[in-house]
Amino acid sequence: MSHPRWDPAELELGELESALGARGVEPFHARQLYRWIHKRGVTDIDLMTDLSLALRAAIKTDCVVSTPRVVGDESSVDGTRKFTLEFSDARRVESVFIPDTPAMTFCVSTQVGCAMACGFCLTGRMGLVRHLTAGEIAGQVRVLAAATGLLDRSFNIVLMGMGEPLHNYDNTMKALRILHSDCGLAVSPRRVTLSTVGIIPALQRLADEPFMPNLAVSLHATTDEQRSALVPPNRRYPLVELLDACRRFPLKKRSRITFEYVLLNDVNDTPEDAHRLATLLNGIKSKVNLLPLNPAPGIPYDRPDDDRVDRFARILVDRGVNVSVRKSRGRDIRAACGQLIVEGGSQRSAAQQMALLLR
């Protein structure tokens, strides 16, 4: 009986057991294959030596194991590495390894480009080219882990690369389940942070997930007028509704929602903004991560000086807000937040990008 070609790297363990079972293969072989791909980073069937030669030959007849291909690897003076990864259709994303933060951290992408069109982000200028599959998202992690010697060590994952994770909800969550499996890299939810601009229906779905990553919400403004200009999805999901969803979001003991706030000089970094932010977050178990803008050509905003950043942070602290100021990593190789971009973006208009978001 012939079967269409299939990709084990795209399957969760149960799906892989079913796929092999349909081919008359015992379930324990699925666990072996899964370990080779997701734990050891091996995608060449011929190298999977605990599978018999006959089984390897049988699997290869209708199977292709995909993996992102490293086509660029740049190192920053601070140890950060930016990888350009290419998929089977020649589309590319950028992913980042950030050492000693204090753990080792992989910043991975969930889309080629992004439909959110945030005004201070280079990725948003690409528009959305396409969603990544679950295997492509998980594949970034195993490729980066292999390249940095971390396949057998603990690391953190932040879904803060190219794309909006909740706009690609099903593939993102499937990738996290693949990464969480004991037969794979066994990544704990505590070591994963999902960053979102706040797509409320998807945020409500996330609240019911068995795999619950840490949540980071990209806020960046303290009024709807200001946020709609900087983060266009706010026109659909305004601040009051977003913050209400955050108040209802289930948190584990000692957990907090991180609110990310990019500071733009003379735009959203005034004392009045700081006081409004403290008021908005009242009653939410939260911490604020302040990110002075990482400037880039084409971004029409400036980075505030250190005095303005310190003033903003002090006001929040005085109002009882838990605050950190993120140190930019990899700025010299354009690997910092908001600086990831590849060639070949979408030509869709802003209105078309918003239509994609609302679908």
Question: Could you tell me the two tokens for 211?
Answer: 């795999």
Q: Check if 74 is active-site.
A: no
- Judged by DSSP in three states, 318 sits in helix
Cis-peptide into 213, omega within 30 deg? no
Residues whose CB is less than 8 angstroms from the CB of residue 117 and which lie 6 or more positions away in sequence, other chains included: 124, 125, 127, 232, 350, 353, 354
Could you give the CA distance from residue 291 to residue 44 in angstroms, rounded to a whole number?
41
CA angle (104, 110, 113) in 5-degree steps: 120
Q: DSSP readout, 23-78?
A: TT--HHHHHHHHIIIIIS----GGG-TTS-HHHHHHHHHHB-----EEEEEEE-TT
- Judged by DSSP in three states, 92 sits in strand
Q: Check if 118 is active-site.
A: no
Question: Could you tell me the two tokens for 48?
Answer: 């999977």
Q: Which of 10, 94, 136, 164 is catalytic?
A: 94
**Cβ neighbours of 222 (radius 10 Å):** 21
Antiparallel, parallel or unpaired: β 156-159 and 105-107: parallel
Q: Are 69 and 118 in contact (CB under 8 A)?
A: no
Catalytic amino acids? 94, 337
